């Protein structure tokens, strides 16, 4: 997986609920439902 990913930030644990916290929503309407995994995470 590490060989295929652009960086460590692009390896996403799909079972982790914190993914929704760290990655931006696809849209305001989809907040908490769909995350944009093509963007880097925000660790705030």
Residue-wise pLDDT tens digits, 1-44: 888 888 887 777 777 888 889 989 999 999 988 889 888 888 86
pTM of the model: 0.63
Separation of alpha carbons 31 and 8, rounded Å: 24
pLDDT at 40: 84
Number of structural domains, the chain?
Answer: 1
Domain assignment of residue 35, given as a range: 1-44
Greatest CA separation found in the chain? 34
Residue written as token pair 């907040």: 31
Give the DSSP letter string of 15-29: T-TTHHHHS-BSSGG
pLDDT at 42: 85
pLDDT at 44: 65
């Amino acid at each position: 997986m590490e060989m295929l990913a652009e960086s460590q930030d692009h390896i996403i644990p799909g079972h982790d609920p914190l993914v929704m916290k760290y990655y931006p929503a696809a849209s305001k309407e989809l907040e908490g439902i769909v995350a944009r995994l093509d963007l880097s995470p925000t660790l705030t």
